C-alpha cells in the first residue's frame, strides 16, 4: 500500500528547518575555530556570531549589543526570571514575580524565584491578561521587598491570542517595575520592537522561526540593567552567559531571523487566508466546534496562523492520536512536556471546564491549500466517528 501523505500543522511547536537555515548551519559547521580564540579561525567564527547578533537584533527591533545568545527560550527565561539583578555595578533586588496565568511553562514556573515569590495574574474569559487585576497587584506590591517584575507573553502559544503588552507596560512603568515579554510565538508573525512594546527584556527562540533547535536569545532594552548570570564559566557573551557559543545553531538562527523579517506582511496575509478557510470549513462540518478566541461577542486579536479548537465529546488525547493516524501532525497545546497530554492550563485560566479537550492547528510559510483540504477531510471523518461514539471519550 502507498504510504500515507503526512501533513505538518504544528508550526507553533517547531517550524520545519528552512533551506536558508540549513545552508547556514552547514556552512558554519565548516568553521574550525573557537569564537573566543584570537587566531584567524577563531576570528572567522567570531565574525559569524557578530553578524548573527545583528540579524537577531533586527528581528527584535533592538541593538546588537543587547542580544545574549542562549541554548533556547527556556534558558533565556530562567536567566532573566531572577530576583538578582545589577544596574551597572550596583545590585538591584526584585521582590516578586508576577506572571500571567496563560504563560508558557518555561515562564510560568518562575525561573529562579521561589514559589512563594511568584504571583499569578488572571486573564479575562476571552484569554487576555486582566489589566485591572495587574493594576491592583502592582498597587499593593510590597516595595520594601524589592521591585516588581512582570512577565507577559506577546501571543499565547495555544490560542494564538495577542496580549495587550503595551497597555501592561504602561501599568508596570507607573509602579516602577520591570517587564519581560516572551515573544517566541509573536516573532515573525507580528511587528516586533522592544522599544515600541516598552519592554525591558524579550525572549526569542530559533526553532519557532524555521531555525535549528538549541538556540535562543535574551534581548535587553539596554546594557546597564542585566540579571545575575545563570551559567558561570569563561565569561562568553560579555559575561552574561558563559560557555562556548553554538556557532552553527546561532548561524541558522540568524538566517531564520532574516527570513522572518523579509516579506512578513505578505506571507502572513496568505497564512491568515488559509486559516480562515480552514475555520470556515470546520464550522460547516461540525456546527458545535468551538474555536477559542473566535466566539460570538468574544472575538479577539489572534496570530494569523493559529487555531485552537474543541469538539464536545472529543478528548485531547483521542483527537491527537486520531489525527496522527490520518497523517495530520497537530498538537494539544504546548509541546514542552515530553509528550504528555493533559488539561490546558490556558483554557482553565479562561474559565473553561478542566475536562474540556482542545487541539491546536498551527500553519506556516509552506502550508498549502492542499494541506488545509487534507486536514478538513480528516476533521470530517473524526467528527463523524465522534457522533457515533468511536472517537469520543
Give first-to-last CA distance, the chain, whole Å.
31
Locate the DSSP E strands across 57-115: 67-70, 84-87, 90-100
Catalytic residues: 336
Burial of 89 (0-12, 13-18, 19+ CB in 10 A): exposed
- Residues 312, 383: Cα–Cα separation, whole Å: 10
Task: Please tell me whether residue 348 adopts helix, strand or coil conformation.
Answer: helix
List of residues 6+ apart from 157 with CB closer than 8 A: 12, 104, 184, 185, 333, 334
- Residues 268, 284: Cα–Cα separation, whole Å: 24
C-alpha cell recorded at residue 239: 559575561
What one-character-per-residue DSSP string does 264-322 give?
HHHHHHHHHHHHHHHHHHHHHH-TT-EETT--TT----B-TTEEEEE-TT--HHHHHHH
What's the residue count for the chain?
Answer: 393
Element (H, E) at 202: strand 201-205
- Residues 149, 163: Cα–Cα separation, whole Å: 17
C-alpha cell recorded at residue 31: 568553521
Amino acid at each position: 500500500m502507498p504510504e500515507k501523505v503526512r501533513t505538518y500543522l504544528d508550526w507553533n511547536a517547531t517550524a520545519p528547518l528552512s533551506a536558508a537555515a540549513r545552508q547556514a548551519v552547514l556552512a558554519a559547521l565548516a568553521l574550525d575555530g573557537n569564537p573566543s580564540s584570537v587566531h584567524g579561525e577563531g576570528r572567522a567564527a567570531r565574525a559569524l556570531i557578530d553578524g548573527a547578533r545583528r540579524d537577531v537584533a533586527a528581528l527584535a527591533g533592538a541593538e546588537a549589543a543587547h542580544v545574549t545568545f542562549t541554548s533556547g527560550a527556556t534558558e533565556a527565561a530562567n536567566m532573566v526570571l531572577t530576583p538578582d539583578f545589577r544596574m551597572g555595578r550596583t545590585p538591584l533586588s526584585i521582590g516578586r514575580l508576577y506572571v500571567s496565568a496563560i504563560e508558557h511553562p518555561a515562564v510560568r514556573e518562575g525561573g529562579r524565584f521561589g514559589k512563594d515569590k511568584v504571583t499569578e495574574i488572571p486573564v479575562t474569559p476571552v484569554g487576555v491578561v486582566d489589566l485591572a487585576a495587574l493594576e491592583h497587584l502592582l498597587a499593593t506590591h510590597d516595595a520594601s521587598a524589592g521591585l516588581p517584575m512582570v512577565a507577559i507573553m506577546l501571543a499565547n502559544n495555544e490560542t494564538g491570542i495577542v496580549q495587550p503588552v503595551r497597555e501592561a507596560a504602561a501599568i508596570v512603568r507607573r509602579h516602577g517595575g520591570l517587564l519581560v515579554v516572551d515573544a517566541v510565538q509573536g516573532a515573525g508573525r507580528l511587528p516586533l520592537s522592544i522599544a515600541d512594546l516598552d519592554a525591558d527584556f524579550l525572549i526569542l527562540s530559533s526553532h519557532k522561526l524555521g531555525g535549528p533547535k538549541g538556540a535562543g536569545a535574551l534581548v535587553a532594552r539596554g546594557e546597564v540593567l542585566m540579571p545575575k548570570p545563570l551559567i558561570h564559566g569563561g565569561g562568553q557573551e560579555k559575561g552574561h552567559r558563559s560557555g562556548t557559543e553554538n556557532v552553527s545553531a546561532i548561524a541558522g538562527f540568524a538566517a531564520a531571523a532574516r527570513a522572518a523579517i523579509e516579506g512578513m506582511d505578505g506571507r502572513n496575509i496568505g497564512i491568515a487566508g488559509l486559516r480562515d478557510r480552514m475555520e470556515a470549513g470546520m464550522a460547516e462540518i461540525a456546527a458545535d466546534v468551538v474555536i477559542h478566541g473566535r466566539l460570538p461577542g468574544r472575538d479577539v486579536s489572534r496570530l494569523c496562523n493559529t487555531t485552537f479548537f474543541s469538539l464536545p465529546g472529543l478528548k485531547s488525547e483521542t483527537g491527537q492520536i486520531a489525527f496522527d493516524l490520518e497523517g495530520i501532525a497537530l498538537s494539544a497545546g504546548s509541546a514542552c512536556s515530553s509528550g504528555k497530554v493533559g488539561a490546558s492550563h490556558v483554557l482553565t485560566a479562561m474559565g473553561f471546564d478542566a475536562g474540556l479537550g482542545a487541539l491546536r492547528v498551527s500553519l506556516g510559510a509552506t502550508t498549502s491549500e492542499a494541506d488545509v483540504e487534507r486536514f478538513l477531510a480528516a476533521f470530517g471523518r473524526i467528527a463523524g466517528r465522534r457522533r457515533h461514539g468511536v472517537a469520543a471519550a
